[in-house]
Structure 1
Amino acid sequence: MKPLEVVIVDVGHGNCAIVRDGISSAIIDVPRGKSVISALVDNKCHQIEHLLLSHPDEDHIGGAARLLADPDVSIENFWCNPSAIQDTDTYLDLLEQAALREDRRSTRYRSNLNVGAREDLNFERVAIEVLHPDVRLAGVGQASRKHKRGEVPSNRMSAVLRVSLAGKPAVLLAADIDDRGFDSIVSRGVNMEAPVLVFPHHGGSAKGGNDRAFAKKVCEQVKPRLVVFSLGRNKYRNPLPEVLAGVRDAVPAAHIACTQISKNCHSRDSIPENAAHLSPKWPSAGTAKGASCAGTVVIRAAEDGDISYDPSQSQHSQFVIQNIDAPKCLNLTI
């Protein structure tokens, strides 16, 4: 049977998800580094139906230009909302590579990664819903404080996506959505439920005031069994204790898993070498330095449609208990 799965790649500080049905794939966000290319090559992901970038921050787009520049990579559609404010070399190089592909008619550029995309992102047994931005926000885009509707920062424009496998919701990818952006989804009565949540901001502050309340609100809407924090051990000290507390407030029984070992949990330089729970098929960026915790997380749809994932809660918890000094995912003290 063809594999039907969503792979949350351990890329360090950044986000990347590979959605696969057989040889057909969609890639959501591509940070800088070798992890994504290695994952595609190692798992024979030959045909990319959609390359989607949630918003133009470095830790979400840093490696996308390289992917677009690779003549051996087939990409049918490239989705990226425009930004008149973003002018980094990374972003401009990305647009240049996208333009070259469009000129050759090898990749179609799609600038409407918003609710209006509807079924255009579906392929094979995969459905990808754009829950945010809505038309009001997408029509304005990123904006300065001088705009009549006020400032619209990059994070508020983050595309929030829900991936379904074989007709069942599997993963909610929240990118870097802020509290006001999330409130706009809630106000529209959108169903956000999914068994797996990739938490926004890598577990950092949403910069809206109360991070505990924000995390609680997000998890109350999504109702996840698994909450993934995609983070790098050597970048910031995520997830924040307030964020973990909010997760526990809403879903106390949920499995919490960081892709790499947080410095809040294990501050010593000596990192555990036990990696038996890590995926043997998909690479994890932290493996070389012994920094992976859950590592790359693989969510699968079984023949009966049930959604499962690896590493399992028992596998990951055993690793954490045996190797991590002060694991916050198992013993929250706030």
Structure 2
Amino acid sequence: MLLSGDIGLFISFLGIPFLTFSLVDLTKAKKNNKPMKAAATTLIISLIATSVGFAMIEPEENDVAEKETPAAIEKVEEKTEEIKTKPEKPKEPEKPKKEQFEKVRDLKVHYIDVGQGDSILVQLPNGETALIDGGPESSSQTVLNYLKEQNVEKIDYLVATHPHEDHIGGLPIVIQNFEIGNIYMPDKTHTTKTFENLMSAIQNKGIKFKTPIAGDMLLDKEGLNLTVLAPETNINDDNLNNYSIVLKLNYKDNSFLFTGDAETEAEQNMLNGNYDLKSDILKVGHHGSYSSTTNKFLEKVNPEYAIISCGAENKYGYPHQAIIDKLEAKGIQIYRTDKDGTIIIAVDNEEIKIDFKKTAKPKKENAPPKEEKQSSYKNSQPNQSVNSNGESNKNSSNSGNTSSNGAVSKPKPPATDGVEEVYITNTGSKYHRGNCRHLKKSKIPISLKKAKSQGFTPCKVCGPPQ
């Protein structure tokens, strides 16, 4: 079927030749003085036909445009409708606000003097209580009496960091004498009688213990939380220390890190996990042994204060001199239970206050199974009270004898027996000069007199004094 535009195009093409011929005829007639009427008539008809043809083409173009315009408008309308009907992207749900807690007291952390071992009482500001380890069995009565002195009635969070006797020996008597909320232990058993006693006490109490892993929250309130940073899952390590439960306590802008006996491998796992290790107060791992507190770990924690829990004159030389030097080099203030007795840190309105409670006689208790030789130590830092701005008020040195009210006497320098200092290793039977090649793996300073009295003999390579 022909459209009007096609007909108009046909008439136009048909009229153009007639128009051309009529112009030629008209020109010839005029030139030869012949009548021009016929030529003029043909010219007019051709002109009309051509004009009509072109006129018929134009309406067809307008019609096409008119037909296209509604289609374009319809597409726009369809897109607009799609936009209107397209579902809106759901908004991300807001994180639920943490539960508030009612403050009923100041936060207090007690590093109890249990001799060679660990026991930490935490009196939380919400009225709850945590006990991290119970020291050795020989100090179980000390721990029990101390908890009663602090009017503890219930222990909401009881944590046995790992199954070594100097950490869990005192827990059975605690479990027997107090109401217990939750018990936390690593997923690691032990074959000792001490561990059996602990499991029996838990069973008799009718409580099932929990095995937390890194990332768990024991307590999570607004401005108050207790987070597990170690151990990781699927640990394959013969060293029980690396199963230690490591906890970080945050209270407003203050933080405490409790490391148990976590050693180098466990510290590296925490670094690999990118946990927030920054803490104001660090309980130094493994009683100040050089097997813990690596440079990278200490740099990440970056504490202002370091607490070392160890027995006076213990046969393992805790804390090792290398750790003391490392802490002092970073300007970290050191407090030790073997020198200061029980160390009490209170947080009141962002202000950290440190106090001591010295026992009558220094305890010389048993130590963890890992045997190491004696080392000397440096004096710890002064007793002081520190506010949230970091300003401190040094009262006196905390390295000497301390009375029960926290007053500290001036320390005496470590005895050197008036003889030259030599060095020993963890496993060797010789003593050495400081530059001996046999000291690459370990280097523990000791007086010559003490080295000889403990059966060490002079190294034949470096020729130390005899």
Give the structure-1-normalised TM-score.
0.73
Report whether the alignment pairs 1:176 with 2:222: no
1:109 counterpart SS class: coil
Question: Does the 8 Å contact 1:231/1:258 carry over to 2?
Answer: yes
Shift of 1:109: 2.3
Task: Give the one of 117, 129, 139 matched to 2:216.
Answer: 117
Q: Partner letter of residue 163 of structure 1?
A: L
Report whether the alignment pairs 1:88 with 2:174: no
2:183 counterpart SS class: strand
- The 5 A counterparts of 1:50-129 are 50-70=157-177, 73-84=178-189, 86-102=190-206, 108-118=207-217, 120-122=218-220, 126-129=224-227
Shift of 1:155: 0.8
Partner of 1:9: 112
For structure 1, the 5+ residue unaligned runs are 103-107, 138-142, 144-150, 261-292, 328-333
Question: Does the 8 Å contact 1:162/1:169 carry over to 2?
Answer: no
Q: Partner letter of residue 216 of structure 2?
A: A
Report whether the alignment pairs 1:155 with 2:241: yes
Task: Give the one of 312, 323, 330 matched to 2:411.
Answer: 323
Give the structure-2-normalised TM-score.
0.53
Report whether the alignment pairs 1:193 with 2:278: yes
Task: Give the one of 323, 326, 339 matched to 1:243.
Answer: 323
**Deviation string for 1:167-220 (max 9, x for gaps)?**
3342111111111111010011111111111101111231xxxx7xx4433321
Partners of 2:128 and 2:188 in 1: how far apart? 29
Q: Partner letter of residue 91 of structure 1?
A: F
- How has the CA–CA distance of structure 1 residues 220 and 17 changed in structure 2, closer, same or farther, with 3 Å as cutoff? same
Task: Give the one of 210, 217, 227 matched to 2:306.
Answer: 227
Partners of 1:170 and 1:230 in 2: how far apart? 18
- How has the CA–CA distance of structure 1 residues 124 and 189 changed in structure 2, closer, same or farther, with 3 Å as cutoff? closer
If you compute each CA radius of gyration, which structure gives the higher value, 1 or 2?
2
Give the CA RMSD over aligned residues.
Answer: 2.5
1:243 counterpart SS class: helix
Shift of 1:123: 7.2
Partners of 2:165 and 2:351 in 1: how far apart? 35
Partner of 2:355: 310
Partner of 1:19: 122
1:190 counterpart SS class: coil
- How has the CA–CA distance of structure 1 residues 100 and 316 changed in structure 2, closer, same or farther, with 3 Å as cutoff? farther
Partners of 1:101 and 1:124 in 2: how far apart? 32
- How has the CA–CA distance of structure 1 residues 56 and 2 changed in structure 2, closer, same or farther, with 3 Å as cutoff? same
Q: Partner letter of residue 161 of structure 1?
A: L
- How has the CA–CA distance of structure 1 residues 316 and 55 changed in structure 2, closer, same or farther, with 3 Å as cutoff? farther
Partners of 2:112 and 2:396 in 1: how far apart? 16
- How has the CA–CA distance of structure 1 residues 20 and 126 changed in structure 2, closer, same or farther, with 3 Å as cutoff? farther
Shift of 1:317: 1.3
Question: Does the 8 Å contact 1:215/1:247 carry over to 2?
Answer: no
Q: Partner letter of residue 13 of structure 1?
A: Q
Partners of 1:80 and 1:323 in 2: how far apart? 39
Shift of 1:295: 1.6
Q: Partner letter of residue 2 of structure 1?
A: R
Structure whose residues are more often helix by fraction: 2
Question: Does the 8 Å contact 2:119/2:134 carry over to 1?
Answer: yes
Partners of 1:79 and 1:222 in 2: how far apart? 24
Q: Partner letter of residue 264 of structure 2?
A: D
Question: Does the 8 Å contact 1:55/1:159 carry over to 2?
Answer: yes
Q: Percent identity?
A: 22
- How has the CA–CA distance of structure 1 residues 87 and 316 changed in structure 2, closer, same or farther, with 3 Å as cutoff? farther
For structure 2, the 5+ residue unaligned runs are 1-103, 357-382, 385-393, 401-408, 416-444, 446-466
Shift of 1:241: 1.1
Which protein has greater RCO, CA pairs closer than 8 Å, 6+ apart?
A: 1
Question: Does the 8 Å contact 1:170/1:299 carry over to 2?
Answer: no
